[in-house]
Structure 1
Amino acid sequence: MKQKFFTSTTLVLAFLLLLNSSFINAVKAPGGEYYQLTIYHCKTADQLGVINAYLKNTYLPALHKTGLTNIGVFSSIDNDTATDKRLYVLIPFASLQKYEALMTRLTEGSLIKNNTSDYNIAAFNKMPFERIETTLLKAFKDMLHLKKPVLTAPLTERVYELRSYEAPTERLYRQKVKMFNDGGEVTLFDRLKFNAVFYAEVLSGSHMPNLMYMTTFNNKAERDEHWKNFVDDSVWKKISVMPEYLNTVSKADIFFLHPTEYSDY
């Protein structure tokens, strides 16, 4: 009887270990990166100044010391006049475990110690931001890793275009993702030299189902020319009318950004 119990217990433990191993391997998603996109929403230029100083002098140096690289920091092109002034921070992670490790260190306070920045010690009635919006993303299979753009124009002239596509249903969302990968949209962007930084599915965010991607250009005129070529391309004309890809986007948001002078790209 004891022998049977021992054997059964051993088999259960072995199964659990195998299940756990399979889960970990699935989470790592062979070769594909995860991205955290953080958006700081502000009302005033003073708030932007506090956040920029914190990101430049404290946060990014701390992230770099952990081995994280290719961290992008961008500001909305219309921040001077907009009522909702925004700063965007994009961090790539090799796995969800790397993401969780960073979140744990930030929560524990072990990553940034003795933080006396104006951002950290701000009073309750002198907020450094209005709200923080965070999105977790997973790279498309046709572009598993973030790519730093190759641009020659001064930082102040460069245009980074962040797009967010929401779908009316989860099924149609999956079809739009398929359109980028198997349908050839990513390949088309590459051929037309859109200098894409990433394409990704939104795993967790305030707008779902949703995908996001970022393309880059030396200036606004170059951006407009690229999109004209895209719309006129025979490949786009073909796939854009294919029945399986129709009505896959219910809302498209476009955000024009500049890289900050301390951004990694």
Structure 2
Amino acid sequence: MMNKIDRRSMLASAASGGAALAAGAVQAQPGDAVAAREIYELRSYRLVNGPMRARLDTYLREAFIPAARRAGCGPIGAFTVAIGPGSPSVHVLVPHRSIEDFVGLPAKLLTDATYAKAGEAFLSTPPEAPPYASLDVKLMRAFPRFSRIEVPRGALGNQARIFELRTYFSHSDRAGATKIEMFDTGGEIEIFRRNGLTPVFFAQDLTGHRLPSLTYLLTFPDHAARDRSWRAFGNDPAWRKLIATPGLTDPEITTGIDNQILVPTTYSQL
């Protein structure tokens, strides 16, 4: 039975593109970078076609995002689902410095008079005209060596781009941990980068309906660039070697993938 060090040694030998990174990880001390790992709250507002979207946009832009930033969160991403399950809906990605900050945010919002005033129309909607159809919240923890959000270039400008939100599911905690190590210390993230798969975050899911799982967010200039990058990644020799390594193949450590293509809102900070 493989222990943690065995898995890391196997990853280091398999991923030539990330060998230096993996070798360094084996030497790391327990707890390295753990204190700096962000907590991600992914709010998924499910909507019904009609006035819900405009109301939600106003609330997020003028009330929630400014108040969350005042409370120390951010940068905050807001996206609509362009392709994949859940449309119409809006995803709001809220980075927190710690789990305590996540738990404490609702109390901070309740005592923020500016937030209450800006969000009054949204917060006071009656039951017969609800502000959204439903709200799902997923909590995630950043990978040890991808511990903070990477803001894409042009995030605050007019540069067009799309995002891809992917969740990988595993059948056991050991399999899930192996997949995380493939990314975090085994070189897979480096293979992503050199093939144009630009990451925004990588995280282990702490809550969800099919745990264990991990979630990550990528960004691309457009759909054509996304297609080119995924093709290049699939043909990368280091990736082909990594995915063929016994113990690291998809059938051994993943049971499925959820995937959505997202478009940032005009007020997104990512």
Given the two structures, how large is their TM-score scaled by the length of structure 1?
Answer: 0.81
Tell me the equivalent position of 1:165: 168
Distance in 2 separating the partners of 1:54 and 1:130: 15
Matched, 1:32 2:37: yes
TM-score by length of 2: 0.80
* 8 Å contact kept, 1:43–1:83: no
Give the aligned partner of residue 15 of structure 2: none
CA RMSD of aligned residues (A): 2.3
Q: Distance in 1 between matches of 2:117 and 2:155?
A: 39
Identity of aligned residues (%): 26
Match of 1:221 among 203, 224, 232: 224
Given the superposition, is the C-alpha separation of residues 139 and 152 from structure 1 closer, same or farther in structure 2, using an over 3 Å criterion? closer
Residue 95 (str. 1) matches residue 98 (str. 2): yes
Query: Which amino acid in the other structure matches residue 59 of structure 2?
Result: Y
CA-CA distance at 1:66 after TM superposition: 2.3
- Are 2:51 and 1:51 equivalent residues in the alignment? no
Deviation per CA, 1:177-201: give whole Å up to 9, x if none. Answer: 1111222111211222322100000
What is aligned with 2:180? Answer: 177
- Give the 3 Å change call, closer, same or farther, for CA 52–199 of structure 1 in structure 2: same
Gaps of 5+ in 1: 1-25
**1:71-105 deviation digits (Å, cap 9, x = unpaired):** 101111159xx874110111111222222221332
**Number of aligned residues:** 235
Measured in 1, the distance between the counterparts of 2:211 and 2:241 equals 27
Change in 2 beyond 3 A, CA 1:205/1:103: farther
Residues 54-93 of structure 1: pairs in structure 2 closer than 5 A:
54-78=59-83, 84-93=87-96
Confirm or deny that 1:138 pairs with 2:141. Answer: yes
Letter in 2 for 1:110: T
Q: Does 1:232 align with 2:224?
A: no
Aligned equivalents of 2:125, 2:156: Cα separation in 1: 36
Match 1:121 to one of 120, 124, 127: 124
1:136-176: CA deviation from partner (whole Å, max 9, x where unpaired)? 11111221110001259986841100001111222211111
The separation in 2 between residues aligned to 1:59 and 1:198, in whole angstroms, is 22
Aligned to 1:11: none
CA distance in 1, matches of 2:154, 2:239: 25
